[in-house]
Chain A
Amino acid sequence: MTMKFSTFKYHLGQGTRSLLKNGFMSLAAIATVIACSFILILSLCVCMNIDYILRQIEENIGITVFLGPNVTDDMAEEIGEKIRSIDHVTDAVYKSAEDNLNDAMNSWENASILEGLKNDNPLPASYEISLDGAAYQDQVVKELQTLQLSVEAELNSAIDPDSVEKIYLDANGNRISEKQAKELGIAEESTESASQTESETESSVQMTTQKIISNAGADVTAAPVNEQAQSNPTAEAPTEAAADQTAEKAAQTAEKETQEKPTEAVTYSSEPSKDLLNTLDKAVAATAGGQAELSGSTYYYNEKSADGVAGINKYDASAYGMKDYEYKGIEKIRHAADEARILVRINTAVRIFSIIVVIILCVISVSIIMNTIRLTVVIRKNEINIMKYVGATDWFIRWPFIIEGMLIGLIGSVIPSVLCFFGYTECLHLLSEKIPVFSNIAQFMGPVEIFAYIAPITIIFGILLGVIGSVSSMRKYLRV
């Protein structure tokens, strides 16, 4: 539909002239569009602000993923990448244990209480995950749980059970040989674990607690032991034969349960360490990447065994008299799916309501504009008739009416847009002045920010109303 410039000028002139000539009807139509645009702007203001506030709340109820205490920086980064690649995740901000402690200190009034933790930070590192909508919480949490399992499985499968290293520590945290450990009588003192063997044969997830009483009873708190067997060639890595023996021993141990025979720290290392050291406080058998939380002379660990991994580790665990535990890349996922669901519901309700309001408004405005323009069409019926005889195309006849409708829509939507812009600015101003508390509860959209959306929507809405009204009102008269 190419149009010559002279033709366009002709249409523009015709449309404007018709608008001016039917002054009263045009004014009525413009007034209707003003009324409708006004209501449209008001409902848009309300809806957009509710949406805006809800989004602020949404941002505050994001997901936090806590990493295991012994996750290395590389692993953390890898996990971060995986989190970011999940759909609807807009960002995942890494927070180290130190960051979290600082945050905690900043948010507490008595920050000094936490001062003492600076050297021994109990807080885990974490990822703060933001989403592009609260509606996706459930979905993302599910993805994260899958990720949690896959990271775990991946890391655990990398562990070679034969290369498991056993480390014995004395009261000062120094390493000693298992022979010494035996001599020092740790084995005899640690008996409870024997009872574990049977329950471990069930491959399901188990939580077990073991307690080893040290002979020293010293109040030593040791940092988690992280030792990779592969990176420690001097360690007492059992040979394959030794492992087999370990297995046999484990079986025996199970039988001897009732006799309360010592089962702990019985090792079959082919290369006993020659180190001679002081009194023994703890005996720690750490698996690769394993984690042990040492607290005083007592230590606990949890085991969550996965298929296969549990089967392999079972022997080691019983042989060493310790439960083997698995690596945890992601310790915990904290989310607020329920809160998010409520927010999403409110949001949907608001949107549906505003859509209904706007649809009703559209119907009203279109019918009024149709009537107005139909009048001008009737007035110009003869002209249309003559145009048809002279060979005018339908579009040529329509254009002046469309332009008339567009002008009605344009004037009718620009006026309330401008008025509402100043009105909204004034309202915000008054609100912050008279009720200053309000700004603490909710932040409203700025006038420029909100009208950058509302003004174009309203003007397009007005023009569309005008065009639809004019085109539909003259259809009948084009059939000549």
Chain B
Amino acid sequence: MSSMISMQNVTKIYENGALGLKDFSIEIEKGEFVFVVGSSGSGKSTFIRTLLKEIEPTTGEVFIDSTGLQTLKRKKIPYLRRKIGCVFQDFRLLPSKTVYENVAFAMQVIEASNRNIRRAVPQTLALVGLNKKANSYPDQLSGGEKQRVAIARAIINKPPILIADEPTGNLDPDTAWGIMELLKEINLRGTTVVMATHAKDIVNKMRKRVIHLDNGVLISDVEEGGYDDEV
């Protein structure tokens, strides 16, 4: 099993009876860029949360970089999450910390040395184009800038996988494109990117692999697909 992400016959039924995923299987190889599309409640979030072991699938197996999540101990979850960078629609930055501190925070958490932090943070901020804003606080930044900070934080530990949950949801189209360019750049550097979105135009223009979910069921999985492609 050399896939970066592998799900086999995963079914998730929540405690309230809602269906998250139904008999869902997928393989995502290293270095791929994958869009996960579908309307609200189609199972996109369930898919992402299952990858992060935030929730347990009712049945089925999940492997991240050949690690089986079903047998992973609670204590080991932090180490799984260090392999997966996360970017969210609402940015989730710490308002009391500067841009620099927010990014450095991710490295402090994994107990990196101060020397490594001082070297890596400016590099990453330069990559996302924010090295001039290092000492600003999040509320002094625009939406696009905030998302760049979040992306910088997600990739600073060089995880093999980057998961973005509607990263352009709160952004205007121009800014959104800037973020997409950044994600494409990160993908080109070897990171596997999984992005959940409803942004049709972005999906259509990028011509990447598209996984279409509806009511927890995989309806299509197309290489270089568009948003509305059928099987």
Residues on A facing B (Cβ under 8 Å): 3-4, 6-7, 10, 382-383, 385-394, 396, 480
Contacts and interface: CB of A to CB of B under 8 A. Distances in A.
Contacts of B94: 382-383, 386
Contact of B153 (A6, A382, A390): A390
Greatest chain A CB density within 10 A among B81, B105, B108, B153 is at B108
Contact of A391 (B54, B79, B114): B79
A287 B92 CA distance: 103
A390 B81 contact: yes
Contacts of B111: 3-4, 6-7, 396
B211 interface: no
Interface in B102-161: 105-106, 108-111, 113-114, 153, 157
B92 A392 contact: no
Contacts of B114: 6
Nearest to A479: B74
Nearest to B117: A6
Classify the interface of chain A: helix, strand, loop or mixed: helix
B113 A389 contact: no
A391 B92 contact: no
B51 to A, nearest CB: 12
Contact of A385 (B92, B106, B108): B92
Contacts of A389: 52, 81, 86, 92
B212 interface: no
Nearest 3 A/B pairs, CB to CB: A391-B82, A391-B81, A392-B109
A386 B92 contact: yes
Contact of A390 (B54, B75, B109): B109
A390 B113 contact: no
Interface size class of B (residues with CB under 8 A): 20 to 34
A4 B116 CA distance: 14
Contacts of B106: 390
B174 to A, nearest CB: 28
Nearest to B153: A390
Contacts of A480: 54
B105 A390 contact: yes
B68 interface: no
B119 to A, nearest CB: 14
Contacts of A390: 81-82, 86, 105-106, 109-110, 153, 157
Given A10-B108, A382-B92, A382-B94, A392 B113 contact: no
Contacts of B105: 386-387, 390
Contacts of A7: 108, 111
B78 interface: yes
A391 B78 contact: yes
A396 B77 CA distance: 13
Given A10-B108, A389-B52, A394-B75, 18 more contacts: A6-B111, A6-B113, A7-B108, A385-B92, A388-B78, A390-B81, A390-B82, A390-B106, A390-B110, A390-B153, A390-B157, A391-B79, A391-B80, A391-B157, A392-B110, A393-B75, A393-B78, A394-B78
Contacts of B92: 382, 385-386, 389
